[in-house]
Amino acid sequence: MSIKRQYNLPNVRLQLDGMNPSLITTDSAATGQRPLMSIVTNVECHFSNSEQFLSGGREFLDSLVRAVSQYGQEVLSGIPHPLAHEPAIVRLMKGDKPDRHLLVSETPDGQTVNIHLNTLELFDLVDVVDQFCSDTRTLPDLQLTLEPISRRHRLADVPAHERAMPLMSGVGSLAIAAVLLFFLPVPEVTIPEDRPAEATEQTDGEDLATDDPPLTPEDEADEEAANEEADELAATEAEDPPAQPTGDRISSRELEALLTDAEPIEDPTELDFIQRYLFREISGNWDDRDAVTEDLAFRVSATIDGSIVAYEAVDDTPASADELTPLPDLEFAPTQAAIEAREAIADYKVVFTRNGVLQINPWAGYQGRPGYGETIDDPDTLAQIQDDLIDTLRDVWDEDGETLGNDLIFRVGVTESGAIADYQPQNNAAFQLEGNTPLPDLLTPEAAGIDRERGSVIPSEPMGQFQVIFKEGGRVEVSPF
């Protein structure tokens, strides 16, 4: 028997025609219940504001229920539900004004029906669908399923085109770089003349320190001698060629070439981020501070991902003094790939002072004022982040927080999702007592894309910058930086 169901609200009418093949007419009369509709043959959805209506079969109904239900949740929470917008027979999206919505439906003959709804009309559509879903006598297999969407979709406040900007500019600069590099000759790998000598020396078992000082005029005599030696050994070369740089590790000379040829990182902001990363890395790994009895100075070369590719002792610091520092543990042997990629290098002067303080400065100083990467400008978002930051910090900064009577002032960079991705002490007390604050524990640089695994310690996500003052007695103040 055929069954008809209708759900009415002031602005929307949903009408279902269907049947139940297993039902004999007298059955329902006997039980006194409405007959159960188990198959739907036609669905129509009419709107009071429009001559147009939507219609279709079961597929259309499924799609309508899903899109309407998801979009209803989106309007309630303000957080987009991706499923409502995905390509489907029925889609719902925001209209041209905040209280307007657009319902789009594909008809079976390939046409598109657009219906504009205001919020009241939309609500009636949501409720008509809910009424149908909760009707146990009509298609009981179709039920309302509500699930919250994941945190990943929360970045709702920034328009998509703005979020795409870093990506677009990244792809753009890659393309430009690719075009420019196309015109550069492929660097030929030439094995230096004196390699045989070196190879022989190595076979002799002499230790070749990776931080060999570069050749100076005084060394020229030695070099000549080495060259002569090389000539003598020319015959041996054929039998015993020097190790080709095929493996991951590269020789000291290649490293030297890398360091001299590498393009220096000069952008003050990049230098600053690498410096902060190095500081955390080195300071965090410098355990035995008492072992350092005199200032130890090193020139440290690092790549954009914060890897220390080389270091050498400077300012009368004995070369072996690195054993007292965490540098040997942190040194990261660059690979052949790094050479081919001609990774840019930043040099820093790193001083381990005898009173246990770490100092890091760019070797060549800053050429300009470092910034803090991309910043969030939307005042609404900033205010929200600021409030969230206060809540977070108040929860963890209590009366036990020791300030020794000082105000500890920091600059703190926070991502849109509220993660503290960057911070920097702003006064001496903050520098000294950083470890007493909750900041080191709360820091998640990865949230802003500051991630060695990702290949860069320069943030890819915009951040809001705030001044945070930890005060005695568990008080904390947050203001825009």
Closest to other proteins by CB, 134 vs 173, is 134
Sorted by sequence, the CB contacts under 8 Å of residue 5 that are 6+ apart come out as: 15, 16, 18, 37, 132, 135, 138
294-304: burial string, b at 16+ Cβ within 10 Å, e else: eebbbbbbbbb
- Min CB(103)–other proteins separation in Å: 16
Q: Would you say 6 or 134 has its CB closer to other proteins?
A: 134
The answer to whether 439 and 419 have CB atoms below 8 angstroms apart is no
- For other proteins, the closer CB: 8 or 134: 134
Q: CB of 476 within 8 A of CB of 387? A: no
- Give the nearer residue to other proteins in terms of CB position, either 335 or 381: 381
Closest separation in Å from C-beta 418 to other proteins: 10
Helix (H, G, I), strand (E, B) or coil at 449: coil
In this structure, what token pair is assigned to residue 280? Answer: 């955390």
Strand 2-8 versus strand 12-19 pairing type: antiparallel
Rounded CA separation 102/93 (Å): 5
If you search the block for the tokens 């920091």, which residue do you land on?
Answer: 410
For residue 440, the minimal CB distance to other proteins (Å) is 23
Amino acid sitting at position 239: E
Encoded amino acid at 393, one letter: L
Strand partners, 299: 312, 349
Tokens of 213: 């000082």
Q: How far is the CB of 316 from other proteins (least distance, A)?
A: 52
| Residue number, 148 or 318, with CB nearest to other proteins | 148
Cβ closest to other proteins, residue 81 vs residue 91: 81
Contact predicate 137/36, CB 8 Å? yes
Q: How far is the CB of 213 from other proteins (least distance, A)?
A: 53
Work out how close the CB of 125 gets to other proteins at its nearest, in angstroms, rounded to a whole number. 10
Min dist CB 131 to other proteins, Å, is 5
- If the CB atoms of residues 127 and 402 are measured against other proteins, the closer one turns out to be 127
- HSE-up (13 A, CA, CB side) for residue 300: 32
- Residue 97 or 369: the one with the smaller Cβ distance to other proteins is 97
Q: Which residues lie closer than 8 Å to 474 by C-beta, 6 or more apart? A: 397, 398, 399, 400, 401
Tokens representing 363 are 């070797």
Distance from C-alpha of 140 to C-alpha of 137, rounded to nearest angstrom? 6
Tell me whether residue 127 or residue 211 sits nearer to other proteins (CB atom): 127
Q: Mention every residue, 6+ apart, whose C-beta is less than 8 A from residue 197.
A: 226, 227, 229, 230, 233
Q: How far is the CB of 348 from other proteins (least distance, A)?
A: 36
Query: 92: helix, coil or strand?
Result: strand
CB of residue 245 to other proteins, shortest distance in Å? 45
Query: Taking the complex as a whole, how short is the minimal distance between the CB of residue 417 and other proteins, in angstroms?
Result: 9
Phi-psi region of 404 (alpha: psi -120 to 50; beta: other; left: phi over 0): left
**Footprint on this chain of other proteins (rule: CB under 8 A):** 10, 72-73, 75-79, 81, 97-99, 118-120, 123, 126-127, 130-131, 133-134, 144, 146-151, 153-154, 156, 379-380, 382-384, 386-388, 390-391, 394-395
Between 55 and 386, whose beta carbon lies closer to other proteins?
A: 386
